[in-house]
Structure 1
Amino acid sequence: MTTESATATLSPSLGGKRRGVLDRVGDRALYLITLLAAIGSVVILGGLTYKVVDLASGAISNNGLGFITTSNWDPVHGQFGAAQFLYGTAVSSFGALLLATPLSIAIALFLTELAPRGTRTPIATLVELLAGIPSVILGLWGILVLAPLMQSTVEPALHSALGWIPVIGKLFAGAYSPVGLFPAMVILTIMTVPIVSSLTREIFTTVPPAAKEGALALGGTRWEMIKTVVLPYSRPGIVAAVMLGLGRAVGEAIAVSQVIGGAPSIGSNLFLPAQSAAGQIAAQYQGGTPDTQSALAYLAVILLVLSLVFTGVARLLVRAIQQRSEGRSQA
C-alpha cells in the first residue's frame, strides 16, 4: 500500500472522529443551555412568588380571608378590603370571555374549514397581529374612539333591546357612561381573541382527517361535520384555550385601567365605572404607604394564584386531549 492510499484511507476515519467529538460537545452544550434556561425559569418564578408573598405577609396576617370578602378600602384608617376590585376583575374578565369565545371559535373554524387556502395565512396573520399591539395603545383607542361610541350608540341600543328583560335587563339599566365595565370587557375581548383563536385553530388541526371525511362521505353537510366531529373532538382543547385567555384577561392592567373608570364599586349595571385588581395595583402602589403596598401585594398574590390555577387547568385539559388522541391512533 502506498503512502497516498494510506492517507486517503485514514482521512475519512479521522474526519469521522472529529465530527463525533464535535457532535458530543454540541449535544452537551445544548443540554447545558436548555437546562440553565429551565432552571432560570423556575428560579425567576420562585423568586417572584417569594418576593410578592413577602411583601403581602403583613396584609395577609392582619386581614386574612376577610380581605377578599370585604369592600372597605381606607388606607388612612388602615382598613383594606378588596371585594370591589376582585368584582371588577371577575366581571370584566368573564364578560370578555363570553364575547371572545364564540368569536374566536368562529375565526378558527373559518380559517381551518371554510376559508380558501390562499387566504388562510394572511387572515391568520392579521388576527395574530392584534396580540402585538401595546396595551397602552389599545387603552388610548378605547378612550378616544370606543368610549364615546359606547355612550352615544352601543349602550342606548343595548338598553332598548335588553333592558326590558327581568333579570338580564338590570345589567343594561341606569345612566350611560363612556367608561365602565362594558368598555373594559370590549377591550379585553380584543386582547384575548388572538390568543384563544390561535390556540383553537391549532386544536382544530389535530382532528383526524379520516373522521371528517367519514362524516362527509355519509352525506353530512360541512356544518354537520363541524358539529358532530370537529367541535366534540376539540372541546377539551377549546376549554384549555379559553382558560389561558382568562389568565391573560385577569392580569391586564394598563388598557383596562384607561376605560374601566377607576371608581371601585359593586353593582349589576355594566355601564357604571368600576376598578380592577390589576388596575388598582398600577394606580396606587407607587407612593403608597407600607400598609397600602402590603395590601396591594396581597391583591397581586391573589392574581398570581388565579393565573397559576387557570394555567394548570389548561395544561390538564391539553394533556387529556393528547391522551385521547394517542388512544384513538393506537385503536
Structure 2
Amino acid sequence: MTVSSSASVPAPPDRLVLADLPSRADRLFRRVTSGAGLSVLALLIVIGFFLVYRSVPAFEASGFGFFTTIQFDPASGHFGVLGLLYGTVVVALIAVAVAVPFSVLAALFISDYASPRVRGFLTGLVDLLAAIPSLLYGLWGFSFLRPYITPLSQWLTGNLGWFPLFETKPGAVLFNSMFVAGLVVSLMVIPITTSVIREVFTQTPPGEKEAALALGSTRWGMVRTVVLPFGRGGIVGGSMLGLGRALGETIAVSLLLPQVPELTTHLLEFGGATISGFVANNAGQSGPALSGLMAAGLVLFAFTLATNFTASVIISRSRSGAGVDA
C-alpha cells in the first residue's frame, strides 16, 4: 500500500502574537508617577533659583572670597562659608564612619542570623527608630548622652593623643565638640542606613545562599561570598543616604555646637559649626545678613545634590548582585 505523495500535510497553527497593551489603570498610574517625579524635579529647580536669587547680594559683596573666608559674621557683613562647610563635612563624616559599620552588622543579623520572630520585631523597631524626629535625638543627646561622651573624649586624648585628630590643647574643654555632635548624628543615621541595607540583603537570591551552604561553606562564608557582594550597591546607597541626612541635620548640631566657624583638627575640643546649625541659630536676620545665610544654604544645597549624584553614579556601576557569579 502506497501513500500518496499528494497527501496534504496539516499547516502549523498560526503563532499567537502577544501585544503589550497597558490597561487604563496602568496608563493612569504611569501618568501619576511621572507627574510626581517631574514635580519633585520642578520643586528642586525652583528652590535652587530662589536661593541663587536671594544670594546674589552676598556674592556681590564678598566675591570669590565667600568660599575661602572662614569668618561668617552677619552683623558686620563679613561672609565666608569655608569654616561652616568644613564643620558640616567633618560632623557628617564622623557620623557616617560610626554608623555604617553598625548598620551593616545590624542588617546582616536581621537578614541572615535572627530567627523569624526576632527578625520581624527588629525590622519594625529599626523602621520606628528611623521615623523618630531629629528634635528628640538632639534633645536626648544634649541632655543625656553628652555627659557620657565627655569621658570617652578624655580617654581618646589621653591614650591616642599622638594621633592628630585626637590631640587636644592642655586644659581644653571637651564637650560641645564636633566629635560629640558627630556621635549624636550617627544615632540618627544608623536606623535609616540599616533599613536600606537590610532591604537589599533580604533580596539576595536564596539559591545562591543555599548553594554556598551546600558546598560546605559556613554561615559567615556564605555571607562573605554571596550576601555582601550582592548587597554592595545597597551598602553604598544606604551610606550615601545616611551621609545626606548627616549633612543636612539641623536641630542636634544647633544644640551641641557653639556655631563658631573655624578650621581645626582638634575634633575633641569645644567649638565648631555647621551650615544648617548656623542658619538655624541666625534665622531672624534680615537684609545683607539674610542674603549671606541664603548663600550658605545654597552651598549646602549644591553640595548635597553633588553627593547624591555621586552616589547614584557609584550605585549604577556597582549593582547589587555584580560579582556573585564570579
Query: For residue 126 of structure 2, what is the aligned residue in structure 1?
Result: 127
Cα distance change, pair 241–174 in 1 and its aligned pair in 2 (3 A): farther
Specify whether residues 312 and 171 from structure 1 end up closer, same or farther in structure 2 by C-alpha distance, changes over 3 A only.
farther
Quote how far apart the aligned CAs of 1:247 are. 0.8
In the alignment, residue 143 of structure 1 is paired with which amino acid?
F
Query: Would you say 1:241 and 2:238 are equivalent positions?
Result: yes
Give the drift of 1:90. 0.8
The residue that corresponds to 1:175 in the other structure is 172
Aligned partner letter, 1:312 = F
| 1:134-184 Cα deviation digits (max 9, x unpaired) | 222211111210122223x32222233322x34344269862433121121
Distance 1:36 1:137 in 2: 34
Cα distance, 1:80–1:204 mapped onto 2, change above 3 Å: same
**RMSD of aligned residue pairs (Cα, Å):** 2.5
Could you tell me which residue of structure 2 aligns to residue 12 of structure 1? Answer: none
Equivalent position to 2:203, from 194, 202, 206: 206
The equivalent position to 2:155 in structure 1, one of 143, 154, 157, is 157
Aligned length: 303
CA deviations over 1:95-119 (Å, ceiling 9, x no partner): 1100001000000000111111111
Matched, 1:43 2:56: no
Percent identical residues: 35
Q: Give the deviation of 1:216 after TM superposition.
A: 2.2
Q: Structure 2: how far apart are the matches of 1:158 and 1:139?
A: 23
For 1:248-285, what per-residue CA distance to the aligned partner results, in whole angstroms no more than 9, with x for missing partners? Answer: 11011112111123233221222222111111111113
TM-score (norm 1): 0.82
Shift of 1:59: 1.9
Does the aligned pair in 1 maintain the 2:56–2:291 contact within 8 Å? Answer: yes
The whole-number CA distance in structure 1 between the counterparts of 2:216 and 2:170 is 48
Residues in 2 aligned to 1:215 and 1:65: alpha-carbon distance in whole angstroms: 57
Distance 1:217 1:327 in 2: 19
Give the Cα–Cα distance (whole angstroms) in 2 for the partners of residues 219 and 172 of structure 1.
55
| One-letter amino acid matched to 1:285 | A
- C-alpha displacement at 1:121, in angstroms? 1.5
In the alignment, which of 272, 275, 284 is matched to residue 273 of structure 2?
Answer: 275
Change (3 A) 1:218 1:30: closer
Separation of aligned partners in 1, 2:91 and 2:259: 13
Provide structure 1 residue ranges, at least 5 long, that are not aligned to the other structure: 1-22
Shift of 1:313: 2.4
Show CA shifts across 1:189-221 (max 9, x none): 011111111111122123332332232223222
Displacement of 1:30: 4.2
Q: 1:328 Cα deviation (Å)? A: 7.9
Are 2:101 and 1:102 equivalent residues in the alignment? yes
Unaligned runs of 5+ in 2: 1-22
